[in-house]
Amino acid sequence: MENTIKVNTASMLLTYIALLWWRCRSIGKRQSEIGIWQEFQYELKGQFYLEFSKKKLDQCCDG
């Protein structure tokens, strides 16, 4: 498979996954509203980046 096709396919799949995450997060009544760009980035990174999630968990457990 060509690299261009791989990149296009991956970006399309990630877009759908991100939209699904956002919809589920928006519907969740227990979660507060995201008001600023930094909060959105923090939430998104926590959802998709394993290393970020580990750091977030460590901070939570230490505090």
Query: Which tens digits make up the pLDDT trace of 6-48?
Result: 899 988 888 888 888 788 877 776 667 778 888 888 887 777 7
- Confidence at 49, pLDDT banded by 50, 70, 90: confident
In whole angstroms, give the CA distance from residue 54 to residue 4. Answer: 32
pTM, rounded to two decimals:
0.49
Instruction: Give the pLDDT score at 56.
Output: 65
Q: Which of 46, 39, 59 is nearest to 18 (CA)?
A: 46
Whether the per-residue pLDDT at 63 is higher than 60: the answer is: no
Environment class of 22 (CB within 10 Å of its CB; exposed 0-12, middle 13-18, buried 19+): middle
